[in-house]
Amino acid sequence: MESFSNLLMGFSVALQPGNLLLAFLGSALGTLIGVLPGIGPSAGAAILIPLTFQMDPTGAIIMLTALFYGTQYGGTITSVLLNVPGEAASAITCLDGYELAKQGKAGTALSLAAIGSFIGGLFATICLVLAAAPLTKMALQFGPVESFALLTVGLSLVMGLAGKSMVKALMMGVLGLLLSMVGLDPVRGMPRFTFGRLELMEGLDFVPVIMGIFGLAEVLANAEEGFGEITLAKMSSLFPSRSDLKRSVKPIIRGSLIGTGLGLIPGMTGSAASFLSYITEKKSSKTPEKFGTGMVEGVVGPETANNAHANGALIPLFTLGIPSSPTVAVIMGAFMMHGLVPGPFLFTEHPDIAWGVIASFVIGNIILLILNLPLIRIWVKILKIPYGLLFAVILGFMVLGAFSVNNSVFDIMIMLGFGLFAFFMKKMDFPMAPLILTLILGPQMERALRQSLEISQGSFSIFIETPLSAILFVLAVIILIAPAFKSLRKRKEKVSGEGA
Amino acid sequence: MTKRVHQGTAIGGIAIAISIIVGSLELQFYTRLGPGPGFFPLILAVIFGILSLVWLIQSTVYKSESGEKKFLPDKAALARIGAIVVSLIGVRILMNPLGYQLTMFMFLFILIKFLGKRKLVETVIVSLFGSVGVYYLFGKVLGLLLPTSSIAFLAAIGL
């Protein structure tokens, strides 16, 4: 009950004209970023962070979170009309979405996906409202030992689930932590690894790093492929038939549950949610062989799931202060840039901001439904902008974003350096998510570790003294070791198969 | 080729780990109050070094699961990537002497005209919007500090 009265207070903040306008702006920009292939939600959010410096924190976070879940709506449009996913979580939608478009049912696919996304987003927001009070109460009991244990579990999940190779994921995770050491030591204030450069005293700014890793690396990858022209499928009526609507009910329910559930687990991406939803729909169908030929369920389920995931992924950030994906980590960075720390203290110290932002999720999803149903043809027109023009505009915004963080050209070079680094590392199948998450969480983790060791006077046994931290550490070890056993078993099976 | 790139990068990883270990040893490892500034980087650098070594062994012993993917882009692709990289370095060099508007106009013009291969009128309009338009929208309306030229006569004409 208390949560709902807090939510009402949140609505009084979110419905202020300025915040409404920013929710609209974030939703529109999110849809735009989702529509444009070659720029994902992480880069989009990172580019916009510097532009929010002059805004008040509530408005800035409302805009950036709306942008985040807005990309999930926009990504569908390109998947259905172009057979090219606007962002990774919509990739699976191409299978049946594009087939529906070829059958002249693009409008039906897009409208059902928008309705599903709306319901999925709303469901996850309700879960956040319900989970906020108990989870924050629990998190407020945490000391540095439990915080360090929780962060370790979160990061091990991200590393355990990212990419094909555990070694590569771990390397990226550790590299992110090492990069977070650059600058002043968070406990003693001593400069580390700054190479005498004043620009590095406050550490590597995460905005140019993220823009390099997600934005520039993507532009470079597109430049490698060449800037080809695009061919769009034709749009049709947006009104779905009664039978299509009826067929969508169960996929929407299942997609909402899958997306929200996976959103709670660090490392589970929106792509995993939409993929699992697709598999579930196929398995529950009486005609699984028809999947891939234009099944409505193959579009509605995954699209509901990825939007529920986008909103669900904000639950661990808001309640425990743990980002579960790179884009959520970018949003966490935006909180920090505005002097706020996401997590349980946000609800006690800034309830107006916490609940205002949560209430804005409902408003943002309504705005997105409007933007993606009656106004969908505007986004389709934007798709016709040639990439030869678009990539330069995207690069221009990246330069603007990187420069304006510290008004320094040095950050443009940081962006370039990390862009080239990510471009080549991705070619070698190195996942970038662990690096970003550890880069942002590094200082917090180091502080928690050192405070714990100061309490125990250097004894590491402190981490297994309380039952909660002991359980969390065992869990982290299992998560990290499990893939190694799995691959050993696979190798054994392969060898015995070859022997037979 | 790919195998050598993997091995080379792993060796690079080991070198980075060693240099961080050396750097960490110059910082305090442990103080009277507890772990010092060199404590966490040293542990991490050791782990990073071990992981790089494991990767070096893996890439030497095992066959690449992703197959022999082409690592270096072809000549035309390399030229496109090179043009973007050089343009960004150009922005870094020219931003302070020429100011935001002129630098970004040149940056966008070169990329759109020569890389995007768009028509001249289209190129000029988008470049003007991305330079002068953005300067006034973000600099004057949204209050971002964007640099003007350090050359007196360019600054005098508002660039």
- Kindly state whether B82 is in contact with chain A, defined as any CB-CB distance less than 8 angstroms: no
- A95, A53 contact by CB (below 8 A): no
Of A167, A220, A224, the CB nearest to B58: A167
Say whether pLDDT at A310 is over 80. yes
- A240, A440 contact by CB (below 8 A): no
Q: Do B41 and A389 touch (CB under 8 A)?
A: no
Task: Give the model's pLDDT for residue A500.
Answer: 55
Cβ-based neighbours of A425, under 8 Å, separated by 6 or more:
A172, A432
Total number of residues shown for chain B: 159
Average pLDDT over residues A450-478: 87
Say whether pLDDT at B54 is over 90. yes
CA A281/CA A102 separation, integer angstroms: 21
Average pLDDT over residues B41-66: 87
Task: Give the model's pLDDT for residue B32.
Answer: 78
Task: Give the model's pLDDT for residue B1.
Answer: 63
| Confidence category of residue A207, pLDDT binned at 50, 70, 90 | confident
Cβ-based neighbours of A117, under 8 Å, separated by 6 or more:
A72, A73, A76, A303, A304, A306, A307, A365, A368, A369, A372
Say whether pLDDT at A353 is over 80. yes
Rg (CA), chain A: 22
Task: Give the model's pLDDT for residue B65.
Answer: 54
Question: Considering only A173-177, A265-269, B46-50, B71-75, which range has the smallest mean pLDDT?
Answer: A265-269
Average pLDDT over residues B32-50: 90
| Confidence category of residue A189, pLDDT binned at 50, 70, 90 | confident
- B59, B6 contact by CB (below 8 A): yes
Task: Give the model's pLDDT for residue A236.
Answer: 67
Long-range contacts of A373-381 (CB under 8 A, 24+ apart): A373/A111, A373/A114, A373/A238, A374/A238, A376/A77, A376/A107, A376/A110, A376/A111, A376/A114, A376/A235, A376/A238, A377/A235, A379/A31, A379/A32, A379/A35, A379/A74, A379/A77, A380/A77, A380/A81, A380/A232, A380/A235
Question: Across chain A, what does the average pLDDT equal?
Answer: 85
Of B23, B65, B111, the CB nearest to A392: B111
| Confidence category of residue A499, pLDDT binned at 50, 70, 90 | low
Task: Give the model's pLDDT for residue A366.
Answer: 92
Chain A CB contacts of B47 below 8 Å: 170, 174
> Chain A neighbours among B 120-139 (CB < 8 Å)?
122, 126, 130-131, 134, 138
Question: Considering only A151-165, B28-42, B144-158, which range has the smallest mean pLDDT?
Answer: A151-165
Reported as a single tens digit per residue, the pLDDT across A208-235 is: 888 888 788 888 988 888 776 666 667 6
ipTM for the whole complex: 0.92
Task: Give the model's pLDDT for residue A270.
Answer: 81
| Confidence category of residue A359, pLDDT binned at 50, 70, 90 | very high
Q: Do B146 and A403 touch (CB under 8 A)?
A: yes
Task: Give the model's pLDDT for residue A93.
Answer: 87
Task: Give the model's pLDDT for residue B153.
Answer: 86
* Residue A270 CB neighbour total at 10 angstroms: 31
Q: Do A391 and B111 touch (CB under 8 A)?
A: yes
Task: Give the model's pLDDT for residue A242.
Answer: 87
Query: What value, to the nearest 5°, has the Cα angle with vertex A42 and ends B100 and A398?
Result: 10
Q: Which of A98, A403, A156 is nearest to B100 (CA)?
A: A403
DSSP state of A430: -
> Angle of helix A106-139 relative to helix A93-102, nearest 10 degrees?
160
| Confidence category of residue B108, pLDDT binned at 50, 70, 90 | very high
Reported as a single tens digit per residue, the pLDDT across A62-98 is: 999 999 888 878 878 878 887 777 667 777 888 898 8
| Confidence category of residue B34, pLDDT binned at 50, 70, 90 | confident
| Confidence category of residue A37, pLDDT binned at 50, 70, 90 | low
Task: Give the model's pLDDT for residue A20.
Answer: 95
Distance of residue B61 Cα from the nearest chain A Cα, in angstroms: 14
Chain B CB contacts of A145 below 8 Å: none
- Kindly state whether A427 is in contact with chain B, defined as any CB-CB distance less than 8 angstroms: yes
**Cα–Cα distance list, A406 to A63, A336, A470 (Å):** 21, 15, 42
| Confidence category of residue B103, pLDDT binned at 50, 70, 90 | very high
| Confidence category of residue A302, pLDDT binned at 50, 70, 90 | very high
Written as one letter, the residue type at A463 is: F
pTM for this predicted structure: 0.82
- Kindly state whether A317 is in contact with chain B, defined as any CB-CB distance less than 8 angstroms: no
| Confidence category of residue B69, pLDDT binned at 50, 70, 90 | low
Average pLDDT over residues A113-122: 92
- Kindly state whether B32 is in contact with chain A, defined as any CB-CB distance less than 8 angstroms: no
Backbone angles phi, psi at A97, to 5 degrees: -60, -45
Most confident stretch, A34-43, A48-57, A115-124, A330-339: A115-124
Q: Do A171 and B13 touch (CB under 8 A)?
A: yes
- Kindly state whether A391 is in contact with chain B, defined as any CB-CB distance less than 8 angstroms: yes
Of residues B71 and A312, more confidence is placed in A312
Say whether pLDDT at A260 is over 60. yes
| Confidence category of residue B105, pLDDT binned at 50, 70, 90 | very high
